[in-house]
Structure 1
Amino acid sequence: MPAATDQTFQLVPGAPRHVAIIMDGNGRWATQRGRPRLFGHHAGAKRVREIVEACPDFGVEYLTIFAFSTENWKRTQVEVAGLMSLFRRYITKETKALKAKGVRVRFIGDRVRLDAKLVKLMNVLEAETAENTRTHLTIALNYGGRDEVARATQRLAQDVAAGLLSPEDVDEETLPRYLDTHVLPDPDLVIRTSGEARISNFLLWQSAYAEYEFIDTLWPDFTKAEFGNLCAAFGNRDRRFGAVSS
């Protein structure tokens, strides 16, 4: 493998180019150990670093992680405040390392409800890593698939009203250009940890033809080895995209 600062990317035949992960189970992991839920979230944040660093080993160029959903505001005020503090701390602590390891970071989701200090840190991290190409890390923060499509449709409608786009030109190729993920390829593989078998409003449009893996492992216990096994298994899948296998 190239050195950590090398911007080149080594393609692994059959590997998923883009993996998206619903990082579930932090709270249950902490509860099983008699600790508060935020203890689990801190453990989960540490796991993110290991998985991000493992991506080049398995041929994964793009990694998208679900950090905080539009529905997570329904949690207790203590947990939400703790998560926002964790996000600020994570960005502050990891910016230098992410930049050095060739990781480009993007955020998707609605930033309007986030506090100004957090948004400023997000903007700085995106700017500091904008030239990196080895691994593309996308963090979904205050993100919901339905919310994303609604916001995209609003922007599209504004362009139609302004005469920049004809209604007849609106099709399934047009709308993705207005999504938060418009610069990213669609995910090839979506992983959900913790034993839950639902997609929870995550990348609804983009994952139309993604392969899914629902695993029992709680996110803080999700290892590089398990990640590698799932990426390897992906290579054995017959992806027909609606066609008949040859």
Structure 2
Amino acid sequence: MSIKLPFLKKKQKKPLNDFELINIPSHVAIIMDGNGRWAKKRGLPRIAGHKAGMDTVQTTVRAAVKYEVDVLTLFTFSTENWKRPKLEVDFLMKLPKEFLHKYLPELMENNVRVETIGDFDSLPAHTREAVQHAKEQTKENDGLLLNFALNYGGRDEIIQAMKQIVTDVEQQQLSAESLDEHVFANYLYTKGLSDPDLLIRTSGEQRISNFLLWQLAYSEFWFTETYWPDFTEEKFVEALQDYQLRKRRYGGL
């Protein structure tokens, strides 16, 4: 005999056409995980998963525009990803150019602005050129900010910030006494951006993997078993609906 406990019942989600645009997270960050496992499950090479995941990026951008998110930050390539096989890394470095060639006209049409965070200068020239072109083309747009975390690592970001702070103190451009959370945040790649309200991670993993270590201090986390290439608008809305049900107290009552 099984006993059904009311407090364990799954929350009923509203259908897409009934979704209310209230309490929408201003800044959504996503760890796009599971491309390789998606491909392996289908007997395909890992790069096939990355290619499928590229189209999911645009699906998610469309959803973010539709549901009036202000900033969408996507963990695209980490500083640790250089350890992967050269063939896979080379393919990943070509994806931004392919993505932007295919979708830049739509991004322009939807008033999306492209930006990046991370060690941009260390990327291959062809990757930098494609992304910089998109930045230039979209710089006047004032809709969704599509923020690619490229060659990004949270610990590296904090170390680079500290090095610059030390230099500024030594050069008397900053006093140690004036250093607080606000000042420190202005030394990070995300200077001028609000912290993510919601972090989404796909593929079933439940860790942040060196992503936005400072900025995620009070973010809401949402995890799904879905691999990134299978992440849909419906899944995005499910995450937004779950966020709408949460109470953010920031340590208060």
TM-score (norm 2): 0.89
Per-residue deviation, residues 78-120 of structure 1 (Å, max 9, x unmatched):
1101111122222233222212211011011002321122112
Q: Aligned-residue CA RMSD in angstroms?
A: 1.3
Indicate conservation of the 8 Å contact 2:65/2:110, yes or no: no
1:209 partner amino acid: Y
Which residue does the alignment assign to 1:165?
Answer: 174
Q: Percent identity?
A: 47
The corresponding residue for 2:6 is none
Choose from 107, 131, 144 the match for 1:98.
107
**Alignment pair present for 1:119 and 2:161:** no
1:206-244 CA-to-partner distances (Å, cap 9, x unmatched) read 010000011100000010011011101111101000001
Letter in 1 for 2:215: Q
1:65 paired with 2:74, answer yes
Kept after mapping to 2: 8 A contact 1:19/1:64: yes
Quick one: which amino acid aligns to residue 200 of structure 1?
A: S
Sort the Cα spacing of 1:112 and 1:56 in 2 relative to 1 into closer, same or farther, 3 A. Answer: closer
Quick check: 1:211 aligned with 2:220? yes
Give the aligned partner of residue 128 of structure 1: 137
Query: Quick one: which of 130, 134, 139 aligns to 2:148?
Result: 139
Aligned to 1:27: 36
Gaps of 5+ in 2: 1-19
How far has the Cα of 1:57 moved from its partner? 2.5
Give the Cα–Cα distance (whole angstroms) in 1 for the partners of residues 101 and 205 of structure 2.
31
Larger radius of gyration: 2
Structure 1 distance, partners of 2:106, 2:84, is 31
Q: Secondary structure at the match of 1:82?
A: helix
Q: Which amino acid aligns with 2:61?
A: V
Q: 2:89 maps to what in 1?
A: 80
Runs of 4+ displaced beyond 3 Å: none
- Could you tell me how far apart the structure 2 residues matched to 1:66 and 1:117 are? 20
* Count, aligned residues: 234
Q: Secondary structure at the match of 1:174?
A: helix
Separation in structure 2 between the aligned mates of residue 147 and residue 12 of structure 1, nearest angstrom: 36
Q: Aligned partners of 1:174, 1:132: CA distance in 2, in Å?
A: 28
Measure the CA separation in 2 of the matches of 1:57 and 1:98. Answer: 13
Could you tell me which residue of structure 1 aligns to residue 4 of structure 2? Answer: none
1:37 maps to which of 42, 46, 70: 46
Deviates more, 1:156-165 or 1:14-23: 156-165
Spell out, residue by residue over 1:9-32, the C-alpha distance to the aligned partner (whole angstroms, 9 max, x if none): xx9321111110000000000010
Asked if 1:55 is matched to 2:64, the reply is yes
For residues 112-163 of structure 1, the C-alpha deviation after alignment (integer angstroms, 9 at most, x for no partner) is 3211221122222111111112211100010010111111112222221221
**Equivalent-residue separation in structure 2 for 1:112 and 1:138 (angstroms):** 16
The answer to whether the Cα contact below 8 Å between 1:17 and 1:62 also exists between their aligned partners in 2 is yes
Matched, 1:148 2:157: yes
Q: Is the 8 A contact 1:58 1:231 kept in 2?
A: no
The aligned residue for residue 26 of structure 2 is 17
What amino acid maps onto 2:77 in structure 1? Answer: F
2:189 is paired with a residue whose SS is: coil
- What is the CA–CA distance in structure 2 between the aligned matches of 1:184 and 1:173, rounded to whole Å? 12
**Matching residue of 2:238:** 229
